[in-house]
Amino acid sequence: MRKKLTTAKLLLGLPAETSDLQYASGFRAPDPVVYLQTGRKRYMVVSVLECGRAQRTTCGVHVLCIEELGLPPAKRRSLTEWVAALLKRVDVREVTVHASFPLLIAESLRRRRIKVTPVAGPLFPQRAVKSKAEIACIREVQQSAVIAMRHALRRIQSATVDSSGCLREGNKRLDAETMRHGIDKLLLDRGCVGKDTIVACGRGSADPHERGAGPLRVGEPIVIDIFPKHQEHGYWGDLTRTVVKGQPSKRLAQMYRAVKSAQRAALQTIRPRVQVRSVHKAAQDAFVSRGFHTRAGNGKPEGFIHGTGHGVGLDIHEPPSIAPIPGVLRTGNVVTVEPGLYYPDIGGVRIEDTVLVTTSGWRYLYPCEKHLKL
């Protein structure tokens, strides 16, 4: 399916925001750069502001300061000019680019008779297979997620319940915002940023992307989804638990058991070369066998309404996806396994762990206990 990449790879943008650029160059910067990889040679053009840092902090990359390309000052603000000057210098006339390569620059390059070919898949498919160093980075972040999760669960456990069913800490209500703030602060203490930490309670949790607001209540599902990014190395972790303070309803307890068994079923299929659609199907089948059906009706879909997982690395969502699509898992993939059930009249239940695909199966990046009742 995938086009063979024989031509040079061209990337451009802000390395701090473009994970492919950071992966390829090892450089993080808030200003745009142009990166070219042709065979084993790697070039990066940077602004005068980034020059010193780029030379100091990259390895094996030929760093060119924009001044060295001999561009007149009027042309130094145009990334197209940077690319054209670099390609001329290294005598390259054909480049492969990511599907998301900027249209206007592609058109300008083509007018200069440079062949620009976008590829549909990832530009660096090898990113899905993590090195030991990368696994150590993700594990470090996942550990921080686990520590923050335990802190959150302890707070719910020690909270009292007032007469209106709201959780309290001393004389203050424990609401979603307070909890999220506590989690994010703990993450920051460990060098990580929690960008959109979810603490969603009750019916709000039926929306998997609802960040959550307002009081946490007894007897209702509380979904906590923590996905920190490390401030220095930029790798992510991802962890979700669903808990109830006090007594869950019978239906909610059934949902929880179904999600736990779906996660177990999906995990049991994980090993190198397994089809991602089989992993997803294992979770789906577990739900159906327990009587939890997925319906997509009238803009209020319910049941198991998302994929089973996604790759985690320099992006929070990256290949491989675990969904009803083609593709297999490989040793060294790092993926989430996160089945969930969502019913607008009850709320959501999701359990998510991040695991490494090993030669013999899988292991947790960093394990964390799973209990519904607190």
Compute the least distance from the CB of residue 50 to a copy of itself, in Å.
6
- By beta-carbon proximity to a copy of itself, the closer residue of 113 and 209 is 209
Compute the least distance from the CB of residue 76 to a copy of itself, in Å.
10
- Amino acid at position 341, single letter: L
Interface positions with a copy of itself (CB under 8 A): 16-17, 29-31, 48-53, 55, 65, 67-68, 77, 97, 99-107, 116, 118-120, 181, 184-185, 188-189, 193, 195-196, 207-210, 231, 296, 299-301, 305-306, 317, 325
**How far, in Å, CA of 168 to CA of 113, rounded?**
67
**Displacement of CA 340 from its chain's centroid (Å):** 17
Structure tokens at 12: 């451009």
232 — phi, psi (to 5°)? -90, -60
- By beta-carbon proximity to a copy of itself, the closer residue of 239 and 372 is 239
Contact 86, 71 (CB under 8 A): no
Compute the least distance from the CB of residue 245 to a copy of itself, in Å.
25
Contact 56, 29 (CB under 8 A): no
Provide the H-helix boundaries in 159-249. 176-189
Compute the least distance from the CB of residue 47 to a copy of itself, in Å.
9
CA 229 to each of CA 184, 283, 319, 352: distance values in angstroms, whole numbers, following the listed order: 11, 27, 17, 17
- By beta-carbon proximity to a copy of itself, the closer residue of 208 and 219 is 208
- By beta-carbon proximity to a copy of itself, the closer residue of 31 and 285 is 31
Compute the least distance from the CB of residue 345 to a copy of itself, in Å.
13
- Give the three-state DSSP class for 86: helix
- By beta-carbon proximity to a copy of itself, the closer residue of 61 and 372 is 61
- Sheet containing 222-226: order of strands: 198-201, 222-226, 239-243
Compute the least distance from the CB of residue 202 to a copy of itself, in Å.
14
**How far, in Å, CA of 200 to CA of 222, rounded?**
6
Produce one character per residue of 96-135: b if its CB has 16 or more CB atoms within 10 Å, e if not.
Answer: bbbeebeeebbebbeeeebebeebeebbbeebbbbeeebb
Compute the least distance from the CB of residue 361 to a copy of itself, in Å.
28
- By beta-carbon proximity to a copy of itself, the closer residue of 271 and 281 is 281
- By beta-carbon proximity to a copy of itself, the closer residue of 106 and 337 is 106
